[in-house]
């Protein structure tokens, strides 16, 4: 099972740049999308279906904001929209699809870059998310939690850890949350198989950041430890330019 995750920063814009042709060429089994910024009536669903994908959308109530989705060539047994918490679900941040024993989540963690209020919201969300997922594991023990976490976990995950030490997305409390979350029994699949530096998944549009590879690795396929033996391959695709993020890939022997 090849699972892609991609923060498209507006699916309509990404489609206009060639997203669907790229999907056709790469043919992943499951695609987790974040920041779709659209409702179903604004998306060319028939074109997606012609590629062989079933599609499940969880947009934000606010127009043109946030939203997650899952596309799948495999029919899921069950799809769950949100976390049964209106404060977060209104922003369209979590969708889950169950495939037999395996569950795949597309998640879009809040950003705290706009100020203290959203940073506080982000930290509250992180605590709720951690509790929710740990409870979910009791009934769905095999989880792939894919998406934009808006956190660089370690210094290796950011191009300039010293200057960004007080930046949202690399704050000590966010990084500690990530450490604590992984200690609950999860694996950062990319870092588990790839220890090399200079691998990022997001670049600012400013100052030629992408060309100079001054990026942040904030997109992850986090998997439960019981999937360790199934991890076959991981990759990041910086050559794909439909967004300020790039796609990330995990392949499971499933």
Whether residue 108 contacts residue 148, with contact meaning beta carbons closer than 8 Å, is answered with yes
Give the distance from CA 214 to its chain's centroid.
20
- As annotated, the active-site residues are 148
pLDDT at 79: 98
Structure tokens at 47: 């074109």
Stated as kind and residue range, the H or E segment containing 186 is: strand 186-188
Task: Say how far apart CA 252 and CA 30 lie, in whole Å.
Answer: 11
Task: Say how far apart CA 120 and CA 157 lie, in whole Å.
Answer: 23
pLDDT at 254: 79
Task: Say how far apart CA 50 and CA 45 lie, in whole Å.
Answer: 9
Q: Within 13 A of 191's CA, how many CA atoms are on the CB side?
A: 20
| Cα–Cα nearest to 202, from 234, 226, 227, 170 | 170
Mean pLDDT, the chain, integer: 98
Say what percent of the chain tops pLDDT 70: 100
Kindly indicate the confidence band of residue 29, based on its pLDDT and cuts at 50, 70 and 90.
very high
Q: Within 13 A of 144's CA, how many CA atoms are on the CB side?
A: 31
Q: Are strands 248-252 and 2-7 parallel, antiparallel or unpaired?
A: antiparallel
| Gyration radius (Cα) of the chain, Å | 17
142-156 pLDDT, tens per residue?
A: 999 999 999 999 999
95-111 pLDDT, tens per residue?
A: 999 999 999 999 999 99
Say what percent of the chain tops pLDDT 90: 99
Q: Within 13 A of 189's CA, how many CA atoms are on the CB side?
A: 30
Longest Cα–Cα distance of the chain, Å, equals 47
DSSP assignment of 91-141 equals T--EEEEEETTEEEEEEEPPP-TT-HHHHHHHHHHHHHHHHHHHHHTTT--
Whether residue 111 contacts residue 119, with contact meaning beta carbons closer than 8 Å, is answered with no
Domains of the chain, start order: 2-252 (3.60.10.10)
pLDDT at 102: 98
């Amino acid at each position: 099972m090849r699972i892609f995750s991609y923060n498209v920063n507006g699916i309509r814009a990404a489609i206009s740049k060639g997203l669907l042709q790229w999907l056709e060429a790469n043919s992943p089994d499951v695609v987790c999308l974040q920041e779709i910024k659209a409702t179903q009536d604004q998306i060319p669903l028939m074109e997606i279906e012609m590629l062989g994908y079933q599609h499940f959308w969880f947009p934000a109530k606010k127009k043109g904001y946030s939203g997650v989705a899952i596309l799948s060539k495999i029919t899921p047994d069950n799809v769950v929209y949100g976390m049964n918490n209106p404060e977060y679900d209104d922003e369209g941040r979590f969708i889950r699809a169950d495939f037999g024993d395996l569950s795949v989540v597309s998640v879009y963690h809040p950003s705290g870059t706009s100020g203290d209020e959203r940073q506080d919201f982000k930290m509250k969300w992180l605590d709720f998310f951690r509790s929710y997922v740990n409870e979910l594991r009791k009934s769905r023990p095999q989880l792939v939690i894919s998406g934009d976490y808006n956190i660089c976990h370690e210094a290796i995950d950011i191009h300039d850890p010293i200057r960004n030490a007080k930046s949202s997305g690399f704050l000590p409390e966010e990084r500690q949350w990530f450490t604590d979350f992984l200690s609950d029994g999860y694996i950062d699949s990319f870092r588990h198989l790839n220890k090399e530096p200079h691998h990022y998944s997001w670049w600012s549009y400013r100052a030629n950041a992408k060309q100079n590879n001054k990026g942040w690795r904030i997109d992850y396929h986090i998997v439960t430890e019981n999937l360790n033996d199934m991890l076959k391959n991981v990759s990041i695709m910086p050559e794909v330019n439909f967004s300020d993020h790039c796609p990330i890939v995990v392949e499971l022997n499933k």
